[in-house]
Amino acid sequence: MSTPCTGGVVTFSWGDWSARYPELATSIYEALAQLYFNEAQLYCDNTPTSLIRDTSPGGERELLLNMMTAHIAALNAPLNGQPSSPLVGRISGASEGSVSVQSQNDYPPGTVQWYQQTKYGAAFWAATMKYRTMLYTRGPVPVSNPFNLFRRRY
């Protein structure tokens, strides 16, 4: 039950995803999970030119895409027969008498706070840290000095 990879692109495997996230799979049907996987590709590059090179079955890119799919599912899907929460953001205040809850959403999607809304997003954020650090690529080294610049003069 592994996710096939065609041309450097991981495809969704309901069997793998539902085995890894059974708490979500009980409330989400396969076609909806596929749509969440499609959306997950907005956050995790699933093209042949992706920095995440491991596209083998059970490889790094499949794991990351499945984490992001679970994050999106947890944010949107009905769980245990209950509709998803209309609250967006973190709980900023709560009271008990007459039940009151306030939430705060002062961050754009794609920032760490957005990922921290679920355990799946937090895991994705931590696992992708190495891809968010600066990547230095040295430029070409000159092989000649056509204008005799920096030439020693005796």
154 pLDDT higher than 60: no
State the virtual CA torsion across 72, 77, 80, 83 in degrees, nearest 10: 130
Task: Give me the mean pLDDT over the 39-59 stretch.
Answer: 92
Q: Determine the 3-state secondary structure of 65 from DSSP.
A: helix
Q: Cα Rg for the chain, rounded, in angstroms? A: 23
Question: What band does 111 get if pLDDT is binned at 50, 70 and 90?
Answer: confident
86 pLDDT higher than 70: no
Average predicted confidence (pLDDT) for the chain = 82
